[in-house]
Amino acid sequence: MSASDGPLNGASLIENGWFIEKNSQWPGQANALEVKKVLLHKKTQFQDLLVFESSSFGNVLVLDGVIQITERDEIAYQEMMAHLPLFSCEEPKQVLVIGGGDGGCVREVVKHACVEKVVWCEIDGDVVEASRTYLPKISVRADDPKVELLVGDGVAFAENAKDNSYDAIIVDSSDPVGPAEKLFSKEFYENAHRILRPGGVICSQGECLWMDEDLIMTMSKDYGACFASAEYASMQVPTYPTGQIGAFLGRKSGGAGAPSCRIPRRCVPADMQLRYYSAEMHAAAFALPAFLQKKLQSKASEPPTKRQKLEWSSS
């Protein structure tokens, strides 16, 4: 079935008790998880939403047929997406989170005592509610008094936000198709740059180095052109395609010190509850394979191939 043939149906990817992530975005390969029970399947205003209990990775959230998060390995993504940018800031107080409807990045952001307010803008309220019900340990800080949840378009929010409003922006988006497509544009990053305070940092879901070299190049060279630094950091998430995903980090000029985000600017508190992130993991994330380093050091970027929406067959 192709996306043009009718509405997406994530449950059709369950075959003989296994969820098989067959997807035209990464042809020739598929990740699979054994399903114990389907907990929720519905069509939201924006996407197909599936939650199931797996036999080895806990509860799993799937959007438009693509695994977004599992209870077992979510720490790698959530902790790095939140702490890479926040520990790259001297004392972040105002933080904007766009996307991340499961609440995991918000959970990590509020661990920083210096953070005074988190504006959380998620386009799909059904994802937030599903996560409250089926991923409670991940969405546990969704109602924290520091957090203001706005169900709406993060791109429009950034367009209308005041200049120099935020110390850090975290863009926890899905892949660049469907609701997240507008988050992968030069215009969005120019707005993000405008609303960051001097020395502020943006951290965005940066896709996979094994499959998305051109997009990573575009994010670093084109979207990152307005920033004083634009860098790619790598993290390991077993249930994502190839077991790897990245983060794009850019710093606005005007802050103290070197613009690079490679080294934490604050010590990690001994009492901060962390299972993946550390100062050593922070620095190591920026060590990239030679082929990607050479790509990023070249002068020009090629327009990334436009992602096709999910296609699958039931055979």
Confirm whether 172 is a catalytic residue.
Answer: yes
Annotated catalytic residue, options 124, 126, 172, 175: 172
pLDDT at 106: 98
Specify the pLDDT at position 3: 38
- CB contact at 8 A, 57 and 73: yes
Average pLDDT over residues 44-62: 97
CA dihedral (279, 285, 286, 290) positive or negative: positive
Question: pLDDT value at position 257?
Answer: 87
- For the chain, the DSSP string reads -BGGGS---GGGGEETTEEE---TTSTT---EEEEEEEEEEEE-SSSEEEEEEESSS-EEEEETTEEEEETTTHHHHHHHHHHHHHTTSSS--EEEEEE-TTSHHHHHHTT-TT--EEEEEES-HHHHHHHHHH-TTTSTTTT-TTEEEEES-HHHHHHHSPTT-EEEEEEE---SSGGGGGGSSHHHHHHHHHHEEEEEEEEEEEE-TTT-HHHHHHHHHTGGGGSSEEEEEEEE-TTSGGGEEEEEEEE-TTSSS-S--SS-SSPPPTTS--SS--HHHHHHTT---HHHHHHHHSS--PPPPPPPPPB----
What percentage of the chain exceeds 90 in pLDDT?
81
Strands 14-15 and 18-20: antiparallel
Question: What's the confidence (pLDDT) of residue 180?
Answer: 59
Q: Is the pLDDT of residue 2 over 70?
A: no
pLDDT tens-place string over residues 236-289: 999 999 999 999 999 999 988 899 999 999 999 999 999 999 999 999 999 999
DSSP labels for 39-62?
EEEEE-SSSEEEEEEESSS-EEEE
> At residue 300, does pLDDT exceed 70?
no
Please indicate, yes or no, whether the overall pTM of this predicted structure exceeds 0.85.
Answer: yes
pLDDT value of position 243: 96
Residue 183: pLDDT band with limits 50, 70, 90: confident
Computed over every residue of the chain, the mean pLDDT equals: 91
Instruction: Give the number of other CB atoms < 10 A from CB of residue 71.
Output: 18
pLDDT for 169 beyond 50: yes
Q: In what order do the strands lie in the sheet containing 229-236?
A: 147-151, 117-122, 94-99, 166-172, 196-207, 244-251, 229-236
Distance CA 296, CA 224 (A): 12
Has residue 302 got a pLDDT over 70?
Answer: no
Structure tokens at 90: 């001297």
Please, which residues bridge with residue 37 across strands? 53
User: 6-15, 48-57, 65-74: lowest mean pLDDT where?
Assistant: 6-15
Find the angle CA(152)-CA(156)-CA(159) to the nearest 5 degrees. Answer: 145
**pLDDT at position 192 over 70:** yes
